[in-house]
Amino acid sequence: MNSVRLWYKKSGLVIYTSHLDMNRCFTRAVRRAGIPLWYTEGFNPHPYITFLLPLPLGQGGEREPIDIRLEKEIPFEEIKSRLNSVLPEGLEIVDVTEAVNKVHLITHARYLIEIGFENDGEAEGFAAGAQSVIDSGILNAQKRSKRGINTVNLCEFVDSFSAVNDGAAVRIDTVLATGTQKNLNAGLLIDALCGEFGAEAEKISILRKEIYMDNKIIFE
């Protein structure tokens, strides 16, 4: 039994695929690619395939991790080639590696967010206002957790934040708490900021660029 970490890119219309359907998609792809997955034992065996940090619906990612276990060794480049030949458009294996770090070590992730507005003035006002609110350290919102829905200060989950406008668009580069211990959905942050100013975005694009451990060390 060999553990392998797949790193995939998710873009285009496939970002609107649910996590359950993503799981089914990759399970089918591995089978079609002829990769010998290891199955759990017991009454209801199932293939070992684990999404370490599932993306919320509607968000893209450039380097997202999935762990699988194989019954026998296969060269990493062959795994990559086989899977890319059967995956649908919008999903691409960008790398295959050993599973170096454990999932509980994930603490943050970097996001690039683009928000489109009706005109330059709205974009400029939102960029300045959003930056001011985050710098103030207070942005309260309703956040769902295992214990229910609570009012939390989202700024406590923001490690860094930069908002600039480019014409009618606002581009945000932010690092947010992400992982099993503390987590902020980038979409919730943007919704809270829009609600703070009554802003109506015409388009929102969220891309997860990198996943970090403590001290901004890249998760591998």
Q: Cα separation of 162 and 117, whole Å?
A: 18
Query: How many degrees, rounded to 5, is the angle at CA 26 between CA 88 and CA 39?
Result: 155
Interval 47-58 mean pLDDT: 92
Vertex 119, ends 131 and 60: CA angle to 5°?
Answer: 60
Does position 1 have pLDDT exceeding 70, yes or no?
no
From-to residues of CATH 3.30.70.580 in the chain: 2-100
Rounded to 10 deg, the angle between the 186-197 and 120-136 helix axes is 110
User: pTM for the full model?
Assistant: 0.93
CATH of 105-216, one of 3.40.640.10, 3.30.70.920, 2.40.37.10, 1.10.20.140: 3.30.70.920
Question: What is the location of CATH 3.30.70.920 in the chain?
Answer: 105-216
Give residue-wise pLDDT tens across range 100-112.
999 999 999 999 9
Structure tokens at 197: 């100013």
pLDDT of residue 150: 84
Instruction: For the domain made up of 2-100, give the CATH fold.
Output: Alpha-Beta Plaits (3.30.70)
Would you say residue 151 has pLDDT above 70?
Answer: yes
